[in-house]
Amino acid sequence: MRSIQFTAFGVAGALAVAGLAGCADKAESTASTGGPITVEAGDTSCAVSRTEVPAGQHTFTVSNSGGKVTEFYVYGAGDRVMGEVENVAPGLSREFKVELPPGTYQTACKPGMVGDGIRAAFTVTGSAQPVQLDAALAGAAENYQQYVRSQTTALLDSTGEFVAAVKAGDVAKAKELYPVARTYWERIEPVAEIFGDLDPKIDGRADVVDEGMEFTGYHRLEKDLWTTGDISKDGPIADQLLADVKEIVAKANAEQLTPLQLANGAKDLLDEVASSKITGEEERYSHTDLWDFSANVEGSKAAVAALRPALEQRAPDLVKTLDEEFANVTSALEQHRSGDGWAGQDTLSQAELKKLSDAVNALAEPISQIAGVVAGK
Amino acid sequence: MALAGAGAAGVAGVAGGAGALAYAATHAQPSTDAATGAVPFYGEHQAGIVTPAQDRLHFVAFDVLTRDRERLADLLRQWTAAAARMTAGRDAGAIGAVNGIPQAPPDDTGEALGLPPSELTVTVGFGPGLFRDDAGRDRFGLAARRPPALADLPRFAGDALRPEISGGDLCIQACANDPQVAVHAIRNLARIGMGVVGVRWSQLGFGRTSSTSRGQSTPRNLFGFKDGTANLKAEDTGLLREQLWVQPGDGPDWMAGGSYLVTRKIRMTVETWDRSALAEQEAVIGRTKGVGAPIGRAGEFDEPDFDATGEDGQPLIPADSHVRLAHPDLNGGARLLRRGYNFVDGSDGLGRLDAGLFFMAYQRDPRRQFVPVQTRLSRDDAMNEYVRHVSSAVFACPPGVRDAGDFLGSGLFA
């Protein structure tokens, strides 16, 4: 899989050159009113039907012609998610709409949902207006909310599949689906944590019993799957999980997040990594902590990317540091890839865990400065 | 090595110092401000070496994570600024623990608010790994500037070193009379360093186990013996020049005025020690447990008589006693400035105290001082039955920071 480095241009990118006259007539016919942009996503390919469009709203139709579950993203500078579809199963086709201001973007298919994806440049033409700070902050919340919606959609789907496997008594399949379903949960966990009572029902660990709660949710099923392997009585637990997830998804989609909540959410996700993933506390039975680790970092990155236009105006040096440290964490984690997933937390040496911990701390410190920048002055 | 030099003669030290007073003018240390309890930060040498040993220690060794030389130099600038502030009793950052905007984390962690400077000193050193990594690569273009005296320590007989608490590319020693002040300093410096360095290991210490000034009484280590009777003292100006401070021409210029630090974490098996007879304990050390006099003499600072024999014809001070083996006369005159601390890291799960001495010794050249002394001790010292060396490190501590425009290690990065 390729990993393409690209320079971070702002949304108001100066490279939005409209002067490619040869494309003009074609582009006009498919502008805001035109037909969808099609994406053929294979296991090793990502064919996007057009790579230059005029500014405005566009529809992407993503067809998975490969054998792995895939994702498709349109990224702005700093991997700001402009639009995406998650969890596209082989043979399926999904559609999404996205409003694109002039600028340079990247498209990415992620077969197997791993890594940076198969990337290509994507240009949106037209003349850009400078982004006002207020608009940048409002846009941040909107951008992240759209990300949350895409994740919750995939969360519902993947949890549904996991629950179905549990209820069918298919231990092997349930074990395979478990970390995938949790990926979507872990990416947006701070949003879920806003809903205090639901979060422990869905994601609480055995310790919740001490607080007088019943032990339900993902980790209860995790325990049964990985300790006794007996899930014959877990049907009601599985049903409860899906019902709780549905409820939290509805609430999360309706929630209006503030830029400050985004900033704190980005930090909270890394604190999650530092306090319960590196230690193996979270996935104590399955040891799939590195799946959560990766998802937490991705979620944090999405929140930071949403804030990027505002941060570039107020704290360009911080943006540079964040880019470097995100890249460091990602490359440190990549050492522990195993197939389309991750090595078990329990297979890492203390020295390897320390390296990850150092990288997370190095990222979390500058991320903790974002809230001050957003709120400041 | 726990008590290296414990038996070395105080008298010899006095004589050497007196003979070399001529050097005093250029090597005097500014003294602590009695009103505020602040140790001056700027000066020819780093504070925290001959500064009268404070009661508490927090020591930390870091691995450098960055490959960017400028980021590393910038960290040293930031550490210097923060150390200057904290040793003066102020917050680590310019804004402080409680004065920033509510939505941002404070630039000081706050646990030292309201506490006086407590004679805090912050001393920084560079480990061999800063010059070349384990694979031999010149990490920051500094390999040619590595001082020959900053040699990796040899393996000593009986070493039971644990790599995860040994070595390090950088170290910071924070000493203070209040443990909260020392911990606050290390915590804030480690935080400032995140991303550039990562903590490799750290050690808390209490009860200074040596005196670095004649104004101090000799403290006791966890064996119950006075420790540091014959230590180099701040007042021994000429001896310090000869034994402690790196002189121009010793190696690369950037180290002139600095000193080399060897740290050894020495676990004591205190339970078995406590079951041994008083006579055996004294024979192991070579001194009395009460006043700390060399066996056969009366006063703590009396010169040991290694030729004296008892009625049985055997030496009064046994051949394998710590005092005899560590004495400068047996080690080419080698002396050390020790400023170790006792430690108790709880218990070890088998009900034994995880306790001992965190040994620290400053010197002009470890190859001629610590290494030969420890080589002798590791082979023959009767004390080896009761101690185990579990951590080891060596650092080059550059000279002091001249003024606010200078920074720790500026000579190395110039």
Per residue in B273-312, pLDDT tens?
999 999 999 999 999 999 999 999 999 999 999 999 999 9
Task: Pull the structure tokens for residue B3.
Answer: 């008590």
pLDDT given for residue B29 in this prediction: 53
**In angstroms, rounded to a whole number, what is the distance separating the alpha carbons of residues A241 and B262?**
58
Q: Does residue A178 surpass a pLDDT of 90? A: yes
Q: In this structure, are residues B17 and B235 in contact, taking their beta carbons and an 8 Å threshold?
A: yes
**Chain B: residue nearest A261 by CA?**
B103
For residue B68, is it left (φ>0), alpha (ψ between -120 and 50) or beta?
Answer: beta
- Asked if the C-beta of A358 comes within 8 angstroms of chain B's C-beta atoms, the answer is yes
Distances, alpha carbon A65 to alpha carbons A70, A90, A373, B80, B164, in Å: 10, 6, 44, 59, 49
Q: Quick one: how far is CA A120 from the chain centroid?
A: 19
Record: contact B194-A368, CB cut-off 8 A: no
Which pLDDT belongs to residue B296? 94
Q: Kindly report the pTM of this predicted structure.
A: 0.84
Contact B293, B299 (CB under 8 A): yes
Which segments of B36-81 are extended strands (E)? 56-64
d(CA B50, CA B59): 17
How confident is the model at residue B210, as a pLDDT?
A: 75
What 3-state DSSP class applies to B247? Answer: coil
- Helix (H/G/I), strand (E/B), else coil: A312: helix
pLDDT exceeds cutoff 50 at A131: yes
Q: Which helix (H) or strand (E) holds B305?
A: none
Tell me the chain A residues in contact with residue B63 when contact means C-beta distances shorter than 8 Å.
358
pLDDT along chain B (414 residues), means of 10: 38 33 40 81 97 96 95 97 97 92 92 96 98 93 97 95 96 97 98 96 90 86 91 91 97 97 97 95 96 94 93 93 93 94 95 96 97 96 96 98 97 94
The SS3 call for residue B261 is strand
For residue B24, what are its two tokens? 């005093």
Dihedral angle sign, alpha carbons of residues B9, B15, B18, B20: negative
Set of chain A residues whose Cβ sits within 8 Å of the Cβ of B104? 368-369, 371-373, 375-376
Q: Which of A363, A365, A374 to mutate to test the interface with B (most CBs of B within 10 A)?
A: A365
Residues of A in contact with B195 (CB under 8 A): 321, 325, 361-363, 365-366
B285 with B384: CB under 8 angstroms? no
Rounded alpha-carbon distances, angstroms, from residue A216 to A206, A231, A244, B283: 9, 13, 10, 66
Shortest Cα–Cα distance, A3 to chain B (Å): 22
Distance from CA of B305 to the nearest CA of A (A): 50
- Of the candidates A350, A354, A371, the beta carbon closest to that of B104 is on A371
Which of A260, A362, A375 is facing B194, going by the closest CB pair? A362
pLDDT of A329 over the 70 cut: yes
Q: Which two tokens stand for residue B195?
A: 């991303």
Query: Which pLDDT does position A34 carry in this prediction?
Result: 62
Q: What is the dihedral of CA B92, B95, B101, B105, to 10 degrees?
A: -10
Give the pLDDT of residue B13. Answer: 32
- State whether the Cα torsion A156-A158-A162-A164 is positive or negative: positive
Structure confidence at residue A377 (pLDDT) = 54
Q: How far apart are CA A189 and CA B185, in angstroms?
A: 34
Q: Is the pLDDT of residue A1 over 80?
A: no
From the list B63, B100, B103, the residue facing A260 with the nearest CB is B103
Instruction: Output the six-digit token pair for B353.
Output: 């105290």
Please name which of A248, A357, A263 lies closest in space to residue A310, comparing C-alpha atoms: A263
Q: What mean pLDDT is reported for chain B? A: 90
Under an 8 A CB cutoff, do A375 and B102 touch?
Answer: yes
Q: What is the C-alpha separation between A75 and A303, in angstroms, rounded? A: 13
Amino acid at position A148, single letter: V
User: Taking chain B, what is the end-to-end CA distance rounded to the nearest angstrom?
Assistant: 36
Query: Are the beta carbons of B146 and B260 closer than 8 angstroms?
Result: no
Residue A202, class by beta-carbon neighbours within 10 Å (0-12 exposed, 13-18 middle, 19+ buried)?
A: buried
What's the gap in Å between the CA of B390 and the closest CA on chain A? 18
d(CA B237, CA B17): 6
Contact call for B195 and A372, based on CB within 8 A: no
The yes-or-no verdict on residue A33 having pLDDT over 50 is no
Integer Cα distance of A166 and B8 in angstroms: 74
Binary contact (A365, B194; C-beta < 8 A): yes
* pLDDT number for residue B7: 36
Alpha-carbon span A55 to A160, nearest angstrom: 37
> In the block, which residue shows the tokens 């088998």?
B350
Give the Cβ contact number of residue A343 at 10 Å: 17
Whole-number average pLDDT of chain A: 87
| Cα–Cα distance, B26 to A212 (Å, whole number) | 70
Higher pLDDT, A327 or B19: A327
Place of tokens 């490359």: A331
> A171, exposed or middle or buried, with CB in 10 Å at 0-12, 13-18, 19+?
middle
Cβ-Cβ contacts under 8 Å for B21 (sequence gap 6 or more): B237, B238
Q: Is A325 on the interface with B (CB under 8 A)?
A: yes
Which chain B residues are Cβ-neighbours of A366 within 8 angstroms?
Answer: 195
Q: For position B208, what pLDDT does the model report?
A: 81
Q: What is the nearest CA distance from A178 to chain B, expressed in angstroms?
A: 33
Measured in whole angstroms, the distance separating CA A230 from the mean position of its chain's CA atoms is: 32
Q: What is the pLDDT of residue B213?
A: 85
* Predicted pLDDT at A87: 86
Provide the β-strand partners of residue B60: B172, B202
Residues A223-241 as b or e (16 or more Cβ within 10 Å = b): bbbbeeeebeebeebbebb
A interface test, pick of B60, B62, B72, B103 with most A CB neighbours within 10 Å: B103
Cβ(A376)–Cβ(B103) below 8 Å: yes
The pLDDT of residue A320 is above 50: yes
Better-scored residue on pLDDT, A68 or A377: A68
- Inter-chain CB pairs, A–B, below 8 Å: 46
Name the token pair of B175: 């000493």
* ipTM of the complex in this document: 0.80
Q: Give pLDDT, residue A23.
A: 39
Tokens 């049985």 belong to B312
Closest CA to A13 of A116, A138, A106, A85: A106
B165 chain-A contacts, CB cut-off 8 A: none
- H-only helix segments in chain A: 21-29, 133-167, 171-187, 189-192, 198-203, 218-223, 235-254, 259-272, 289-314, 316-334, 350-367, 370-375
Buried b or exposed e, range A74-87, using 16+ CB within 10 angstroms: bbbbbbbbbbbbbb
Integer distance in angstroms from the first to the last C-alpha of chain A? Answer: 43
User: Is it the case that residue A127 has pLDDT exceeding 90?
Assistant: no
Q: What is the pLDDT of residue B30?
A: 58
Q: d(Cα B239, Cα B23) in Å, to the nearest integer?
A: 10
Q: Which residues, at least 6 apart from A339, have a Cβ–Cβ distance to it below 8 Å?
A: none
In a mutational test of the A interface, the residue from B68, B194, B199 whose CB has the highest number of chain A CBs within 10 Å is: B194
Distance from CA of B75 to the nearest CA of A (A): 13
Chain B residues whose beta carbon lies within 8 Å of the beta carbon of residue A364: 194
Looking at residue B131, its pLDDT comes to 96
Mind telling me how many Å the CA of B74 is from chain A's nearest CA?
A: 14
Please give, rounded to a whole number of angstroms, the shortest distance from the CA of B164 to a CA of chain A: 8
> Higher-confidence residue: B2 or A56?
A56
Q: How far apart are CA B222 and CA B240, in angstroms?
A: 28
Nearest to A358 among B65, B105, B164 (CB): B65
Distance CA A321, CA A315 (A): 10
Q: How far apart are CA B38 and CA B35, in angstroms?
A: 8
Could B101 and A372 be called an inter-chain contact, meaning their C-beta atoms sit closer than 8 Å?
yes
Chain B contacts to A (CB-CB under 8 A): 63, 65, 100-105, 164, 191, 194-196, 198
R_g (Cα) of chain A, nearest Å: 21
Pair of tokens at residue A62: 């993503």
